[in-house]
Each structure stands twice: as structure tokens, then as C-alpha cells.
Amino acid sequence: MLDIIIYIISFISLFCLFTLFYLKRSVLVFIPVVLGVLYYFPAFFDVFYGNYIYSNHIVRDANLFALYVNFNLFFCAFFIYRFIKLNNNLISISGNDDNYKTIKIFFAIQLISLVFLVYGVYVATGGNILSYSWATKNELEGGNFAFLISSYLFIVSSGVVFLSWYLKYRKVFLLSVVLVVLYIIIIRSRGFIVPVLMIFGFYYLVWKRKVFSSILFGILFLFLFFALQQIRYLGELNNVSDIKFGVMVGNIIDKIMSEDSEFSLRNSFYYFIQNYNYLVERYSFGNFQTYRRIFFFFDVFNLGLKPNDFTNTMYRAYYGDSAVLANPTLHPTMYGNLYANGLYVSSLIFTLFFSFLIFIEKFIREKGGLIYWFIMPIFLYSCIFIARGSIYNAFLILIVNIFLVFFLVNIRRIRLF
């Protein structure tokens, strides 16, 4: 009974966090939404039916830690919102000539991102593009520079589909959809559909208050998310024609029900709780590596200031040191990442980082217009990454792309276009 009570209180704390951001029309609402799906949904079965790997007291400790994290975030956000004013009116944009030209610039960036991707695939496969698979990029010691440029350009231009739909620029919308489909088919990385599609969910949930429609959209998005995973499993691009819808649906259902899906991420969190003392000695858990990596993110020349990516360390700690991929990562949900970085002190440090996100969103909302709607897909993408447990990447992607958006929106003033 105690375990059930703790779980319910912990879930209520998450719901309070969701309600606060929902009322404030904040993009941060997606952090509790994703945590509800990735952690609290599978943890419900762990509490009421038991986890076949980990004992009840491990699950209880996990829910207590999640409650502590939610408590910190809620009161931090509540306190900040008491002192700042937010415009809760819909941030609208008009289809004027200047906005149309700006959207065309971002569409050009989207096209360039596809060009860099094709070039990266060409280099990775030695010219045999159809032999490219998802594993090919990961076998290149983190991938070549073309993949990196392509990914950032794609993310910064991910708002083109939504904005061209919203402003009824049909030609740009159709061409942008085609580019996105080609990009996803080639790269086979599910994360890239997040900023393109979930901005529609954000618009209808936060600004239009259509909760039921947003839930249906979320379910369809999850299905597509797992469907892209099945396409990735086909291997080389040559095999895409082998897709059979009935078989794919069956595989998706099997994947969701298995212990090797997005819903199993909480097991790595449980593992960290169970073996924390050993992991501190063997893998240097508890040294706040993620936060130090964020603080020294500018150390691009590896001067020794920025520690290694902690998601690599967590992967080795959970799966063992013999990794097949060159750059393996583990995302143990936000709770698991915070716990591994330094327990309860880690949560307090993250709360400071979280307050920084609130002020960034306030600044972007005050800018309004195209800047807001181009940055929101990126912000949303970062929020989902944070909830999944990829905190450093979320921070870096958000900061870099915010600067890129401001540059591209104002580039015509330099009279280059």
C-alpha cells in the first residue's frame, strides 16, 4: 500500500507541473507529458504488478526521487511565474511579403540540410548511397562533419512545415513535406520528426486548448515513432521496398510490449539506484559530469575542461564496456540522468538550469512573430530530449539553434537576399 501511495503522490506532483505549464501556455509542458509516457506509465505496472527484474523498494526509491525532482521544478517555476509577466494571447503571424521571404530563406536552409545529408551518406558509403544504413553513421566515430552540419540545419529549419501550413503557403508546404520525408527516409533517425510534427501538437494543446485532439495526435505520433524504428531495422536503403504494413504493425506492437522499447528506459534508472555505490567507484557516477559539460560547452578544442559525454558512461555502466557502436549513448529518462549525476544535489543544480529555460522562453515569447514560431519547434525538441534524459544535447541544440534563428531571420537586413 505504501508503494501505491508514493506512486500516486509522485504522479500528482507531475500533474501539478503539467497544469502549471499548461496554464502558462509554456512549451515546457512537454517535459511532464513525456515523463508521464516514458516513466509513469510503465512504472504504474511496476507498482501494481511488480517489476520482474527489480524489487519493490527500488521502484519505491525511484518514485520518491521523481517526487523530489517534480517538487523542486514545480516550486521553482511557480516562484518565477509570480514575478514575471507572460503574454497569454496567441502569438500570431501575418502572411505579409517579409514573412514569406523569410520562410523561403528557411526553406532554402532545409534544402541545404538535405544536400549535406546526401553528401555525408555518399562519403560514408564510398559512393554506394543505397547501401547506407542507420549503423553506418555510427560506425564513423561519431559521423563525419557533413552529418553534423546537416542535422543542425534541419533542426533550425524544422518550423517551415508548420509555418507554411499556418500561413497557407501551399507550394512551400508541399515542397517542405517532401524534403522532410526524404530526409527521414535517408537518415532513419526518429528524433528528427519531433520538431517537425510535434509543433502541431503544441499549437493545438497549448494555444487552441484542444486536449482530446492533442491526445489523438500524440498516439498517432507514437505509432509513427515506432514505425520509423522498424524502417531503420530494415538496414540498407535498398531494403526499404521490403516494407509490409501488416508485418510492420505486428512488429510495432511486439516492440512496445517488449523490454527493449522506449517504455523500458526506466529500468536503467532502477539499475542506477540498485548499484549506485558500485557505479560511483567504477564509472565515477555522482561527479555532476553533465553539468560540468554544459558549463564548459565552449571547450571545442578538448582542452580538458569539458568532461566526456556522460550518456556514453551510463551506456557502459548499464550494458557493459564492450560496445558495438563507436559512440553509444543511454538516455535513462530525466530522473535517471539526474540521479546518476549526483542524487539529490544534482536535482537542485538541474532546477537552476531549468529556471534558465523559463527565462529563455519568456524572452522568445516577447520577441513573438516568426522568431517565436521558428524557435518553438527547437525548444520543444529540446524539452523532449531533456525528459528522455539527454540533457547536454538538449541544451547545446537549443542554444546554438536560437542564435541561428536570430541570424537567419535578420539576414535580409544585411542585404544578402
| pLDDT, tens digit, 9 for 90 and up, residues 57-91 | 999 999 999 999 999 999 999 999 998 887 777 77
Rg (CA), the chain: 21
How high does pLDDT run on average in the chain? 84
Does residue 232 have a pLDDT over 80? no
pLDDT digits over 265-306, tens only?
889 999 999 999 999 999 889 889 999 998 887 766 666 678
Indicate the pLDDT class of residue 141, thresholds 50, 70 and 90. very low
Does residue 403 have a pLDDT over 50? yes
User: How far is Cα 134 from Cα 117, in angstroms, rounded to an integer?
Assistant: 12
End-to-end CA distance of the chain: 66
Average pLDDT over residues 102-129: 84
Residue identified by cell 497549448 is 206
User: How far is Cα 401 from Cα 374, in angstroms, rounded to an integer?
Assistant: 10
Alpha-carbon dihedral angle through residues 6, 8, 10, 16, given to the nearest 10 degrees: -150
Higher pLDDT, 226 or 157: 157
List, in order, residues 6 or more apart from 36 with CB less than 8 Å away.
Answer: 11, 14, 18
| The one-letter amino acid at 69 | V
- 19 grid coordinates: 497544469
Average pLDDT over residues 195-204: 89
pLDDT of residue 299: 67
pLDDT digits over 320-351, tens only?
876 556 678 888 999 999 999 989 999 999 99
Residue identified by cell 517538487 is 71
| Percent of the chain whose predicted confidence (pLDDT) is above 90 | 46
Average pLDDT over residues 211-227: 75
**What count of Cα atoms within 13 Å lies in the side-chain half-sphere of residue 181?**
6
Alpha-carbon dihedral angle through residues 371, 374, 378, 384, given to the nearest 10 degrees: 110
User: How far is Cα 106 from Cα 373, in angstroms, rounded to an integer?
Assistant: 12
Average pLDDT over residues 106-115: 94
Q: Say if residue 308 is exposed, middle or buried (CB neighbours under 10 Å; 0-12, 13-18, 19+).
A: exposed
Indicate the pLDDT class of residue 417, thresholds 50, 70 and 90. very low
pLDDT digits over 25-62, tens only?
999 999 999 999 999 999 999 999 888 888 999 999 99
| Percent of the chain whose predicted confidence (pLDDT) is above 70 | 82
pTM of the model as a whole:
0.88
User: How far is Cα 197 from Cα 206, in angstroms, rounded to an integer?
Assistant: 15
Q: 37-41, 47-51, 102-106, 410-414: lowest mean pLDDT where? A: 410-414
